[in-house]
Chains A and B, each alone.
Chain A
Amino acid sequence: MTVTPLLTCVLTASGDDVGDALQSLDALLALEAEDIEVVLVDHGLDDATHDLLRNRSFPRLRLLRMAPAPRASARNRGMAHARGQRLCVLNPGDTLTPFTLSSIRKTDADCLFLPGICRDTNGLVHPGPGQAVFDWLVGASLESADTSDPRFSTMASRLALLPPLPGRCVVGRDFVQRHNLAFAHEGASSWLFVTGVLMNADSLALADLPSVVHCRERAPYEADAITVLNDAAQALSLMQRARHFQDPALRLALLGAVFHQLHGFEAALSPDTRRDFRNACALVLARSDPRLIRMLAIETRRPITDAFSFCAPWLGDALDYAQELSELLKQADEPERMPRQSAIARLSAWRWGRSRGS
C-alpha cells in the first residue's frame, strides 16, 4: 500500500441518495485498487446508516460526518480532506471502471477528462452523455494539448460542451488547491467547479477507455430550480475574468452549455414556475459581461455553432434561448460605467469624513 494514494474519490451520501451512494461505494471497493482512496461524506444520514458505513472494512475508506447540508458543501468538505495525488468527485451512483487508474497513470495533465458510460435504471449500459464530444476529439487526434499547442483552444472549447458532471474529470489535488476550486456551496450543480477547471487548466487530456460509469442519465442538478441559476451566475462571472475568456469559441461554448442546461430545466418545470425561472435566467444574463450578450448575434455566432454542430447540435437552440432572454432586458437602459473621477472624489470624501469621526 502506498502512503499517498494515486486517486481520491469524493462521494457524498444523504438520506435521499444513500442507496445510490452505497452502490458507488460497492463498485469502488469491487475494483480492489489500493491506489484509490474513497472519502465518503455523510451529510444527513440517520445514525443506523452511518454506523453501517462506519463498519465497512476498507482501509482506504474515510468517512466524514456533517450536518444536513447541500451536496456541494459536502463535496467541498470531502475535497478538503482528500490525500490522493489526483481527485475525482462522483455523483451518488457513479463509479470508476477498471480502466481509470491506468489512464490516470499515463498523463500528468492538469485535468484528465473521462469518457463515460451510462447505466440506466434497467441495468443496461449505453454510451455516456456527451460521447459525441469524445468521438470528435479522438477523430481529430486531439487527445491531449497544453497551452503552448495552438489546438488547446479547440480541445477546451469542445470539452466545455460536455454536461457538467463532476465525475467527468480527474484533476490534480495541488491544482485544486492552487486555484481554490470549489463547488458553489448552496448551489446544486457543478458548473462553478467545472468552469474553474477549464478556465485554469494549462494542459488537458482524454482517457482512452471508458473510465466512469454514470448511474443513470440524470440532470446534473436535482434541486430548487432557481438555486441552479446561482451556480450559472457564478460560473459565468468566473469565466469572464479568465484568461481563456479571450477565446470566442470557448466563450460561446460555455455560454451555450449553461443555457442549454437551463433551457432543459425550464422545459421540465410546471407552467406556474416557468415564468419566474425565465426571469431569473434573464437576470443571470443581465449580470453577465456585455461581451457575452453581444456574442449572441446570429452573424457572430454562426461560424462557431456550425463548427460545433457535430459535438453539440443543440448549441444553436441554446443560444437562441439566451437571445430570447436577452430580449426581456431590452427595456432596461445600458448600465453606465462609474465615472472614474467622481468615484475617487467620493471615496476620498468618505475616508476624510471617517478620519474625523463623522
Chain B
Amino acid sequence: MDTQQFLVKVDPGCTDSCHFELRLNEAERLFHLSLRFDIGRYVVNELRDGVWGDGVWSDLPEAFDRDVPFLVYREDERVCVFISAKATLFRMDPEAMRKGRLQAAGQGVRWDYLPPVRAAKIELAENSARIIGLHVARNPVMLPAEVPPALALKMAVESVILVPSYLRYLAAATLPAGTRVLDLGTPVLGLAHASLFAQNEVTVFSDETDALRAIIRANRLANVSVLTINELMPALSNTHDATLLQGRNVRMRAGKAIRSPGIVVFDADNPEALPVRATTPRQAAQPALRKAGLDVVVSLFNTLDHVVPCVQSLLCDGRDDIGVIVVDDGSSDGSGRLVAETFSADQRVRVVTKENGGCASARNYGRLVSDRAHIAFVDADDWVDKDFFAGLYDLALKNGAEMVQGGFDFYDETRDPPRWPYGGDLELADIPLESVGGQMALSVPAERLLRGQPTIWRKVYRRDFLDAHDIWFPESIRAYDDYLFHLLTLTYAPTTWMVPGAKYVYRQHPGQDIRQGDARHFNMLAMFLMLAHRARKEGWTDFAPYAQTMTDAIHWSSERLRPELVSAFLQAGAQICVSIMRSWGQEVMGEAQLGTVTHPDFRYHLEMAQKQAAALPDGLWWVGAGATLPHPDTVRMHLALKSSL
C-alpha cells in the first residue's frame, strides 16, 4: 500500500483562497484542494489535460482556524482531507497515476510531509475515513471509536506540531524522578510524558473526559488519569512536590497558582522557555600560597628495583626544606606502595597516586600538588650523589636564578666502567668559576646548552619562573616532552647557573623507548611544531638555533624508523621545514640546516612541499598550517584506518 501524509497550513498572508494539490505536471493535477475563504467553502477536484472535473464542495466550519493545520492523507489512488470534524474523500484516476510521480504543490499554503514515524494511522472505508492511531514521541497510541473526529484530528495535529518542542523541553529541563504532571487540555503531551516516564503520574484536565479515558484503557496506560478542567485549581493548590504544569497558554489560565514552589511550567505557546535551574556556584579561586623550600618530583611507573635507592639518595641530611614527592603514575608492580612503606616514618617523603598518563603528566602532577617555591624533576630509576640537590637549592636561594643545574654522569651496568661523564659538560671548561655567597659556580649562556642533550632532571627551577612563562611538560606527547621543556626554559632564561662537584647519575637502558623505531618518533615533529607555534604567537625574532636542532633530530629519527613509517615521517618533516623556511626565511631554514638530513627521499618531499604552495606568499601563518601528520596519534589513526586497499 502506497501512502503519503501531509500536514498543511494556510499562510498567514492568504486572504481569499488557497490550494494544495498532488500533480504530475501543470496540466495534470490529479488531486486539487481549494479553500475559498471568500465564500466559506472548500472543494476537492482534479484537472485533467487542462480541464477541471466536477468538484466535491463542502462548507468550511464556522470555527475554522487558519492557524491550525489540517491533514491530507493519500492511500494509493484515494485521498482524504481532514478538516475539523469532517473527512472528505476523493479518488484519483489510477490510470493517470501510472504516468509519473505525484508531486505535492500549492499556493497560499505550507505543507510538511510526515514520515511514517510521525504520521497518524488512518483507516479508509468505502465512504468514510477515521484517524485510528497516532505516533507520540515515536510510540504508537491507539484511538478507539469513542474518540470524536475533531479530537482525533486535534491530537494528530498536536502530535506533530507540539510534541517536538515538548521533547526538547523535557530533554533540557531534566525533571526529577517522580514529578507530578498536570496537563491542561493537551492530552497528546500528557500521553507523550506517560509513555516516556513510567515513574511519573500524569493527570490530564480536559472536557473530553470519556474519550480520553477510553484512550487510556485502550492503550493500558497505568500512570495517566483524567479530570475535568474545573478540578485543576484544587489540584494545583495541593501541590507540594515537584510538579510540571503543561498546556497551551497555561500561565494565563493557571494564574497565581503556578507561583507555588515546586511548580515548573511548559507553555506550549511559548515552548522555548526553560525552568531556571540552580547550579553549583563556583568557589572563588584562592591564590596559591607557596612556602620556601624545594620539592623533588619523582615520576614513578613500574620501577620497583630502583625507586627506593633513588628516593634515598635525594634526601639530604638535616634538610627538611628539601622534600620528595613520588608520583605513582598508575604502577602495577607495587612500587608506589613500596616507597610509601619504606619511607612511612620520614615526613619529607610524600607518595601521591594517579591514573596512568605518562611521564610528563606525572611530573606536572607533582608540580601541581607541590606547595613549595622551587621544584626539580627526577626519574625513578636514576639517583644523585650525596647532597646534590642541597647544593643546587642553596645556590638558587643565594642568587635567585631561574635555573640551577649540576653535572651528570651516564650509567650503564653492561659497560665497564659502568659510569662515565657527559661530554657536553666538558666543553664548558672555558667558563670561569665564580663565587656566589661563598659557593663556587659557573654561569652558562643558554646557547651553549641548546644543542646538547635535554637534561631537565639535573636542575632546580624557580616555580614562579615556570608559571610566568607557562612552561609545562606537554602531556599530549609521550616522548620528547622533556626536550620542549628544556628548550623553553633555555629560551626564557638567558643563563643557567651550574654547580660543579656532586652529580646526577642517568641510567641507560638498552631498550629505551625511542629506539624502537615506531610512530613515537613523530612526537619529535609534534614537539617542534608546538615550539614553532609558540615562537609565532610570542613573536620570537630568532628561530635559527631551534631549526638546526630540528633538522638534526629529523636526520636522527630517519635513520632509526621502521621502513614503513619513513616516507610519512619525511613528508611531515619536510612540510614543517618548509613552513619554517617560509615563515622565518632561508637564513633560518636553508641549505645549511636542511643538508643535515641525508635521507635521499627527504629532498623529494621537500620539493613537493615547496611546489604545492609556491604561489602563496611568505609569512608567519605558514607555521600555523603545520603538517598533515604531525603527531603519533594521527599516524596511528592512519595506520588503523579502514582503507580501500
Contact = CB atoms under 8 A, between A and B. Distances in A.
A171 interface: no
A83 to B, nearest CB: 11
Interface stretch (A2-10, A255-263, A276-284): A276-284
Interface in B91-150: 113, 115-118, 137-138
Contact of B615 (A66, A236, A277, A328): A328
B608 interface: yes
B637 A233 contact: no
B614 interface: yes
Given A81-B355, A139-B115, A279-B621, A238 B615 contact: no
A242 B643 contact: yes
A333 B611 contact: yes
B476 A69 contact: yes
A182 B637 contact: yes
Contacts of A144: none
Interface string B521-538: 000001001100100010
Given A46-B285, A64-B357, A280-B625, A179 B637 contact: yes
A66 B283 contact: no
A297 interface: no
A229 B629 CA distance: 13
A234 B174 contact: no
Contacts of B633: 76, 180, 182, 185
B357 A141 contact: no
B615 A330 contact: yes
A98 B176 CA distance: 10
Given A48-B283, A241-B641, A123 B473 contact: no
Contacts of B63: none
Interface string B55-74: 00000000000000000000
Contact residues on B (Cβ < 8 Å of other chain), bracket: 35 or more
Interface in A50-82: 51-52, 62, 64-70, 72-73, 76-77, 80-81
Nearest to A354: B559
A185 B615 contact: no
Given A229-B624, A280-B624, A328-B615, A125 B172 contact: yes
A141 B282 CA distance: 45
Nearest to B168: A117
B559 to A, nearest CB: 8
A119 interface: yes
A226 B628 contact: no
A99 B171 contact: yes
Contacts of A283: 612-613, 616, 622, 625
Interface in B449-494: 470, 472-477
Interface of B: 113, 115-118, 137-138, 164-165, 167-172, 174-177, 196-197, 271-274, 276-277, 279-280, 282-286, 288, 354-355, 357, 360-361, 364-365, 367-368, 470, 472-477, 526, 529-530, 533, 537, 559, 575, 598-601, 604, 608, 611-617, 619-622, 624-631, 633-634, 636-644
The 10 closest A-B pairs by CB, nearest first: A226-B624, A97-B171, A346-B600, A331-B615, A67-B364, A276-B621, A185-B476, A124-B272, A237-B628, A67-B472
Interface of A: 18-19, 22-23, 25-27, 30-32, 46-49, 51-52, 62, 64-70, 72-73, 76-77, 80-81, 95, 97-99, 117, 119, 123-127, 138-141, 143, 178-182, 184-186, 192, 196, 199-200, 202, 208-211, 213, 224-227, 229-230, 233-234, 236-238, 241-246, 276-277, 279-280, 282-284, 286-287, 328-333, 335-336, 338, 343, 346-347, 349-350, 354
Given A67-B473, A230-B630, A280-B622, 19 more contacts: A47-B288, A49-B283, A49-B285, A67-B368, A73-B474, A77-B475, A99-B170, A124-B274, A125-B165, A125-B169, A125-B271, A139-B115, A180-B639, A192-B637, A230-B625, A329-B612, A331-B614, A332-B614, A350-B598
